[in-house]
Structure 1
Amino acid sequence: MFFRPVFLASLALLLPLCTPAAEPLMGVFGENSMQRVLNFEKWVGRPVDVILCTIDFQKWENYRYASWLSQTVYGQRGDRRLVYDVPIIIQGTSYAEAKTGAYDEHWKCLAGSILENNPGTYEIVIRPSHEMNGEWFVWGVGGAKASQIPDFIASWKRFHGVFRGVPGGERFRFSFSTTEGASDPRPMWPGDEYVDIVAQDVYWKPKAMGGEGWETNDPKEAWEKRVSPHGYNEWHVAGMLAFAKAHGKPFQIDEWGVWGPDAAPFVEAMAAFLKTNGARSHTYWNSNSSYPGELDQREKEWPKTTQAFKAAFGRAQ
């Protein structure tokens, strides 16, 4: 997905890697609002398993502490686990500096704050520099920023070491969270020992939606383009699933969204794909921020789409 305000986020999953779920766990993007999470749960008819939150990337003094999100916003989350979007670099910084250790103390402070605000022994998923294969975020290294890839890889490795090095850091799990519609992310892979999960962000953007819409208005064709050997590219959904398997990593959909009244076939295909391929999790973008995918307020506007979603995901299968 393209640039979104700092308070927005994406999702991942918190489940022991050695114990795959019988069904993928479900998450929701809640715009850093617990009430929005509760509203979605009421609409879909079941609790979510995880909630995404995002770390500020404007100033280090805001980046360093997770207390506001973990406690003030989501302090009443109960058993729902938080997943953190954590940029490796922020506005005005660089991977060239990051790889030298210039930001180690900021990372260390944040890692400690996340652990402090998540007591227990469960695993905590981190999405370092998510959608790194795009160029719309300050931390992206896709497109015209490709020359930064070596520094990105070196920085990821250092970031990983800092997070794992704090007391309790063994709880962190790192998601290599890519996006479709951008550069090939595979050359950005930092190495098997530095990644725990392979994930992708998937958004159907038909031309009919206007704005960022660029692809076919046929939801069946749109899905087929994501799983066919002759689809959009080699790093589409099926391609990244194959990449995950080749590296012995679990696969999940960190963000996904659909648009319009005719998206039911896409929703149904996603549900089948997740189950058939043993995906670890999926996270729905129930928001109109950056991508107009909100479903819980569109029962009358998009009845077929909303009914398909609730039929597929509205209860633990």
Structure 2
Amino acid sequence: MTINDHVEEFHGLPVTDFREAEEKGKLPAADATAWRIGLDWDDEQGFAELWQKFLDTVEPERVTALVLGRWFPEEPESLSEALPLILAAADRLPALRALFLGDITFEECEISWIQMCDITPVFAAFPQLEELVVRGASEDYDDKERLGLKPVRHEKLKALRFESGGLPAEIVRAVGACDFPALEKLELWLGVDNYGGNWTMDDLAPFLSGAKLPALTHLGLQDSVFQDQIAALVARAPVVPRLTGLSLSMGAFTDEGAAALLEGQPLTHLKTLDLHHHYLTEGMQQRLRDALPGVAVDLSGAEDPGDNWRYVAISE
């Protein structure tokens, strides 16, 4: 599985590519869409020029959602080249409620090559932000800048997702140390060690307890080869009784993990249980359906449970 397409909807709005819409002379109302700002292969202008043109063309004070595409024309460059431009325009974006950093497909740049930076300033610059998605982290190479985050408190954030083929332990720990009193949905693509995912089970404890996430109703701990072990922790996690959605998808989830879930605390209160991309036998899939008749269980993307080489959905 790879990320083949750009997002078409974000924060409940259709996504409009500003560059394409501006070239066609068909610009929607500033608050009617999530604006995608990104470079194409043949763009002669740089990101700074494109960003300034966007600010000068639309009514930025009405923009509610931004999707940042590729900020580099060819070879990957650090987000530290583009993020300061967005932060500097924060006073011109008072209505911004949603930000997607890195809507980049595998053809444009593999997820493990996307060079991020410290995103902590985003929270201070946009105190009204409700949704944040961050894609990429970069492998631990000397010539690549990695994703950074320091523990913060943000009053308004409701949804947070980190998409990565390998989420560094320091990021997982920083998220766990943050205060997000309004956060309802948290998803972490944990990834694998080969691509920087050096987190440990202990690092997941803050999310499983939910003590610092009083509003959390959806938890995703995904894209790991250790999904069975995570499931065993989830089976007795204090946060589970107040969840309506649980995602353990995209990883090497087997009958062992499913059995742990079924033998643990009740899950019948859930509205959704996302297990797509899994290694479950047909018999166990049926057991899950029978045990959770009122739950929308996603069992799509079944892989061969007899395969000794089990892979996650997103890594490189």
Shorter-chain TM-score range: 0.3 to 0.5
Choose 1 or 2 for highest CA Rg. 2
Q: Which has the higher contact order (CA 8 A, sep 6+)?
A: 1
Higher helix share: 1
Q: TM-score, normalised by structure 2?
A: 0.38
